[in-house]
């Protein structure tokens, strides 16, 4: 785990003390600054209660374009404040519930991009990737150490069409570099914008994890498609997404599987309020389940992350997630709180293969927009299992989060 003192000190001091006026962009490029302080509390059956207070600072610089070339560098630093009464995955405190944040300093992004024309762009180096809502390929930022990727990416776009190819060499999973996985993977994504009401995506991901520490049943080939869009519904607006995929073993996988994936969600919004209903199906054959080693884990099936870990988001018998929820928010125009949002989601989980109940979860939050790009959030998750052998342990999580970014 890399911890150079000069970089650690520079990130903390600059991120927390520098005046925003001193960070004005100029013709040579722009500075990147993103600071998040978080207090997290976890109560989990069978574990000691965990508490972690951390500050994450990302500091970087992106050059102005020169003959089509753009350079970006970004460092990331996480500092644990106070006691470490939690299991970070690195500190050995396994009697406590898990909070995967630890003291780290690392290079989060180091990339060179070349715009060969208005239609073609090539990016080489450590970068962020996001396709299909981060489910299979993404750079999740929930944990303080954000996931990034060592890769070569080629993007081609022309009018309504877009296409991307990625050769993927390594996923930096965090915390630190102890959980990174080497890969020899090829990622293809094709998009077509039909209209404002509909956009289509097709994808083919050939993911081969070559790292000995990676689970041997996570290498996979995933083929699928996604439909997204929005359209008026009287005075309201209906937005929707639907994704179907088929996943089979591939490359270094020592398992033999063929599994289905499906995700549907619809949301109706009007005058600051929205109502949502959704359904996810992740196949399982009793031994294997849908693998997402390069994708996002947090929040896809609840903020408690009861089913997320190790490059998967399900149980060996698969997972069905039925959910509904709503949000309401508004801008205030006040000097101290400029906007706010409240929301809640309820989820019901069952095993896809057997139909057994696996648990229920409530997630709720209050977000406040403060002046000068500052945000304050209060978040809550409560998962209650069923006692089924595949049902995760009961857990409750709470967060207080203060952010600043420019």
pLDDT single digits (tens) 189-201 = 999 999 989 999 9
**Separation CA 285–CA 263 (nearest Å):** 18
Quote the DSSP letter at residue 20.
G
Q: What is the pLDDT of residues 270-314, one digit of tens each?
A: 999 999 999 999 999 999 999 999 998 888 999 999 999 888 999
**Separation CA 8–CA 89 (nearest Å):** 21
Predicted model pTM: 0.89
Dihedral of alpha carbons 210, 213, 215, 216, sign = positive
- Say yes or no to pLDDT of 14 above 50: no
Average pLDDT on 246-262 reads: 95
Q: Confidence class of residue 18 from pLDDT cuts 50, 70 and 90? A: very low
Q: Confidence class of residue 20 from pLDDT cuts 50, 70 and 90? A: very low
Residue 26 confidence (pLDDT) = 62
**Separation CA 120–CA 313 (nearest Å):** 34
Q: 24 is written with which tokens?
A: 């004005």
**Separation CA 339–CA 329 (nearest Å):** 7
- Say yes or no to pLDDT of 12 above 60: no
Peptide bond preceding 322: is omega within 30 degrees of 0, i.e. cis?
no
- Say yes or no to pLDDT of 25 above 80: no
Q: 57 is written with which tokens?
A: 């600072």
- Say yes or no to pLDDT of 74 above 50: yes
Cα angle 275-276-277, degrees, rounded to a multiple of 5: 135
Residue 82 confidence (pLDDT) = 87
**Separation CA 394–CA 366 (nearest Å):** 23
């Amino acid at each position: 785990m890399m911890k150079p003192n000069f970089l650690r000190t520079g990130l903390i001091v600059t991120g927390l003390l520098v005046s925003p006026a001193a960070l004005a962009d100029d013709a040579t490029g722009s500075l990147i600054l993103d600071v998040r302080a978080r207090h997290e509390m976890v109560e989990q059956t069978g574990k000691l209660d965990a508490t972690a207070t951390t500050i994450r600072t990302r500091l970087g610089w992106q050059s102005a374009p020169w003959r089509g070339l753009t350079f970006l560098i970004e460092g990331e630093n996480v500092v644990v404040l106070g006691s470490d009464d939690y299991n970070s995955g690195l500190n050995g405190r396994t009697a406590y519930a898990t909070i995967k944040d630890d003291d780290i300093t690392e290079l989060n992004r180091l990339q060179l991009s070349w715009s060969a024309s208005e239609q073609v762009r090539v990016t080489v180096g450590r970068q962020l990737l996001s396709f299909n809502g981060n489910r299979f390929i993404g750079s999740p930022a929930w944990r303080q150490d954000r996931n990034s990727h060592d890769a070569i990416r080629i993007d081609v776009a022309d009018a309504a069409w877009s296409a991307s190819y990625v050769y993927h060499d390594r996923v930096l999973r965090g915390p630190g570099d102890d959980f990174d996985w080497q890969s020899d993977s090829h990622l293809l994504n094709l998009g077509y914008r039909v209209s404002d009401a509909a956009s289509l995506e097709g994808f083919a991901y050939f993911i081969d994890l070559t790292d000995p520490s990676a689970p041997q049943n996570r290498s996979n080939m995933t083929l699928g498609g996604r439909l997204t869009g929005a359209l008026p519904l009287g005075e309201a607006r209906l937005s929707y997404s639907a994704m179907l995929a088929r996943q089979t073993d591939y490359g270094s996988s020592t398992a033999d599987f063929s599994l289905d994936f499906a995700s549907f969600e619809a949301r109706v919004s009007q005058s600051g309020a929205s109502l949502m209903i959704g359904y996810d199906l992740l196949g399982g054959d009793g031994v294997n389940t849908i693998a997402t080693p390069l994708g996002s884990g947090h929040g896809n099936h609840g903020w408690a992350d009861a089913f997320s870990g190790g490059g998967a988001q399900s149980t060996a018998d698969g997972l069905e997630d039925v959910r509904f929820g709503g949000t309401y928010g508004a801008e205030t125009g006040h000097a101290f709180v400029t906007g706010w949002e409240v929301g809640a989601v309820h989820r019901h989980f069952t095993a896809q293969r057997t139909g057994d109940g696996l648990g229920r979860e409530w997630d709720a939050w209050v977000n406040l927009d403060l002046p000068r790009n500052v945000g304050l959030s209060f978040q809550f998750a409560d998962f209650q299992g069923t006692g089924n052998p595949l049902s995760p342990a009961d857990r409750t999580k709470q967060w207080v989060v203060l952010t600043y970014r420019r």
